[in-house]
Structure formats: structure tokens, C-alpha cells
Amino acid sequence: MSGIITRFPPSPTGYLHLGGARTAIFNWLYARRMKGRFVLRFEDTDIERSSKEYVDAILESLEWLGIDWDEGPYFQTQRFPVYRDYIQKLLDSGNAYYCTCPPERLDAMRQKAMATGGKPKYDGTCRNLGRPAGPGAAVRFKAPLTGTTVLDDAVKGGIVFQNEELDDFIICRSDGTPTYNFAVVVDDITMGINTIIRGDDHVMNTPKQIQLYKALGSPLPVFGHVPMVLGKDRTRLSKRHGATSVTAYREMGFLPEAMLNYLVRLGWSHGDQEFFTRQELVEVFNLDNIGRAAGVFDPEKLSALNADHIKATPPAMLINRLRPFMAARGVELAENSTNEKMIVSLAPRSKTLVEMADQALFYYQDEIAYDPDAARKFLTAEALPALNALTVRLEALQDYTEPALENAFKAVMAETGLKLGKIAQPVRVALSGRTASPGIFEITAIIGKEKTLRRLHRAIVHIEGK
């Protein structure tokens, strides 16, 4: 199939939700896989709740994820003349009519239907009265009363809707604003959208939209309704499950490649493969492998996958990703070779960039703070001989490299009769302030001779002052 055109139509009434992000990713990947086009538009007709702040936040989130668009962003509030033209087409063809039923009558109609076990749908009072346009008049679609509307869904398969269960729904409110089901169809027709991948909470809207396509004489797009993203308790993902916006996960130090990878795998598979690069996803993504079961969002699995992506990312690329997290901790990363060495040492130990930034501080601080328990356990009088001996060895060292440092430690082991662990742990606390760090030779080399000696001297003074 060629000439694929997909779209993502967020409502700017909040930040980009993980479920919405997955929908955007699916549409974007399919367009890129098929060498088609991806359209971005904002469904911003909810004037009271929509804001530029949310528009900007959604754009920023998409850009962070690496999702680019070929057209747009379009805004529904700028397309009212287009909607009016299509409303008139339906009125002229007899597929729509003006309705002047007051709200009180509509409410009474719904209550009566519900009281008798029926569906609260419009009873067609104005359907054949030929009402003219006028104040307080809405426009309703003249839906077929019999037969069926069939959805041939690319994910769910065939779904049949009985037309008698539907009603003459409003396509234009009395204030002149179009309703969702009408506006989205007009947008998709005029923008040439021929493939619609969206959450299965839209399934019940689809028969109305199919009827509008047919009434307007437009070919139907391919519909694919994907299962929702659920929390671990298998309820719809919400704030009670933790952070739900893309922005929040960016601020928590997750990589965009990992988030893209994880969200795609929530409902889509390619054999048993879990780790994907962006390019791999573009090459293999398809609609056939979207599952019918809901995806369960697991923060622990996301963290594990993020750790894998951190390890797979070139250190030079991670430096720029890490900069804002270090800046928030008062460290500006200068352009030097220490940064890449630091990242190489910490990448295997970091699940997020926040973790990496926290662990990296000791490399850059002039004065490190000792963890009280670590200092109490390892910065003791028993450690003084090893620290003094190592200080002497390092002061005399000309070749300050890991192999040379390892030899210096071995010499201290021979001199003191201590095993490496008995020497390395006090040195680790002296250099990093804590008991866990990358390899002792590695961090000693990265910190550098001058700073290492200064920290060893400080640890010796600390012990002697006890």
C-alpha cells in the first residue's frame, strides 16, 4: 500500500499523556515505514480548557521523542469556514437538517427513554419538518434508520453496528461550533488522511464517522483501534499509577529513545525482541503485529530498558543529555575528556540520567561530603597506614594511568600486608564520599592526580581528628 497519510490530533487541554504519545508514535512510525506522510493537528475547539501552554508542551514532547511531522500543526479553531462549507453540503444533499428542540425537551426525552429501559437518543422530532436556519437552531445529521454500519478494523477485525441503535446526532451546535465527530471527519477528508490509528475508546464514535464519510461521498480510511494503556492494576492509566505525561519522564531522566522503544512495545511486538533503536522500529513496524490485549505500563520495565539505552548510547551524545541535570546540581560540564570518561564509568550503573547526575557529582565537586555510615565504618585509624602509603606512592607517580595506579595499589598491598578490599574501600570513601562507585582504579584516574591527593590528605586529617 502506498501513499499512506496518518495523523495525530491531540487536544491541548493538558500535557501529552503516555497513551497519546503511543498513538502518535504508532501513526508516525507507520507513515515513516511506508514512506508516507504524517500530519499534526490540534483539536482545540474546547476554548475554555485549551491553552497555548499545552500546545507548546505537546510540541516540545513530540520533538523530544523525535517525532517530526510533514504537515501542520493545524488548528481546528482556524478551520471554521471549512466546517461551515461541509455542513452546507450535508444540508443541501438532504443528509442534515436544522433542529430547534429546546434543551428542556431533549432532557425530558432522555429521561423518559432511560426510565423505560431505552437508549437516550434523539426521537427525530425535527427530522422531516424542513426547519429553516435561525437563532437557537442546531444542525443534526440524518442518520440511516435501518440496516447496519460495518467497521472493518485493522486491529480488532470486523465490527457490526445496528443503525437503529444510533440516532440523528448533532454536527453543529446552536452557537455555530462543530461537534467532534463532524469536525474530525472533515479534517481527515480535507487533509487526505487514509489511515487512522487511535485508541479503542474511539470505537463507538466510528459508526457515526463512517456514516458521515458515506454521506459526503468520500472513501473510508483504514481504521485501526489499539487497546488502551493500563496501570498495573489493569485500570486505565492515571495519576494514581504515578507520572502519566511524557514531560514528567523526561524530567526524571529517561532517554527519548527508551521511551519511544517502551511505548511501541506496549501493544506491538516483533518476535521476542525488546530493545529497538529508532531506525529498527522504522524498518519493521506494521499494523499486523499490533495486539488486541491492553498494554500494562510497568515503570520498572521502563527503567530497565532505559538503562539498556543509556549503555548503548555513545558517551559523546550522553554528555549533552546530561548537562541540564548536572546544571541543576550546580555543575557546568566544561568541554574536556573527563566527561566522556565519567559517563563510561557510570553508564553501566545508571537507570536514569538523574541517577547518573547524582553519582557523577563526586567527580566534579571541590569538597565532597562523606556519608556518615561510610565514614564511620571505613575512615578509621586502621585505614591510616594504607592511606598514607598510597599518598606517598601517588605523589611520586609520573604515569597517572589505570595500569600504573593498579601497580601503586599492589605495592601498598605488599607493604601493608592488606588485601585490596581493605585498601580500596577507605580510598573509595575518601574519593567519592560513599561505599559504592565504579572501579577504584577507574575513578582514581578520572578524578586526576591533584584532586585525588587532596582528597586523600583530607581523609587522613579527618581520621586523625577523630
Closest CA to 438 of 325, 350, 336, 328: 350
CATH 1.10.10.350 residue ranges of the chain are: 366-466
Q: What is the pLDDT along the chain (466 residues), one digit of tens a residue?
A: 459 999 999 999 999 999 999 999 999 999 999 999 999 999 998 888 999 999 999 999 999 999 999 999 999 999 999 999 999 999 999 999 999 999 888 888 888 878 787 788 899 999 999 999 989 899 999 999 999 999 999 999 999 999 999 999 999 999 999 999 999 999 999 999 999 999 999 999 999 999 999 999 999 999 999 999 988 888 888 777 666 899 999 999 999 999 999 999 999 999 999 999 999 999 999 999 999 999 899 999 999 999 999 999 999 999 999 999 999 999 999 888 789 999 999 999 999 999 999 999 999 998 999 999 999 999 999 999 999 999 999 999 999 999 999 999 999 999 999 999 999 999 999 999 999 999 999 999 999 999 999 999 999 999 998 7
Specify whether the CB–CB gap between 227 and 294 falls below 8 A.
yes
Transcribe 245-273 into DSSP letters: BHHHHHHTT--HHHHHHHHHHSSB-STT-
CATH architecture of 313-365: Orthogonal Bundle (1.10)
Predicted local confidence at residue 235, as pLDDT: 83
Predicted local confidence at residue 114, as pLDDT: 80
Counting Cα atoms < 13 Å in the Cβ hemisphere of 250 gives 21
Closest CA to 200 of 267, 251, 246, 143: 267
Catalytic residue among 239, 419, 422, 449: 239
Q: CA 323, 324, 330: angle at the middle one, nearest 5?
A: 90
Is the domain covering 81-180 a CATH 3.90.800.10 domain?
A: yes
Closest CA to 291 of 207, 230, 245, 220: 230
Residue 225 grid cell: 483501534
CATH architecture of 366-466: Orthogonal Bundle (1.10)
> How far, CA to CA in Å, does 133 sit from each of 93, 98, 103, 173, 212?
16, 6, 17, 12, 21
CA–CA dist 115, 175 (Å, integer): 30
CATH 1.10.8 residue ranges of the chain are: 313-365
CA–CA dist 324, 344 (Å, integer): 18
CA–CA dist 123, 109 (Å, integer): 8
Whether cis (ω within 30° of 0) applies to the bond prior to 73 is yes
423 bridge partner residues: none
Superfamily of domain 239-312 in CATH is: Glutamyl-trna Synthetase; Domain 2 (1.10.1160.10)
Predicted local confidence at residue 233, as pLDDT: 83
38 bridge partner residues: 6
Predicted local confidence at residue 454, as pLDDT: 97
Residue 24 grid cell: 502518535
CATH, domain 5-75+184-228, list 3.30.43.10, 2.40.50.140, 3.40.50.620, 2.60.40.10: 3.40.50.620
Predicted local confidence at residue 231, as pLDDT: 86
CATH 1.10.1160.10 residue ranges of the chain are: 239-312
Write down the pTM of the prediction: 0.91
Answer yes or no: 239 catalytic.
yes
Give residue for cell 436544522: 98
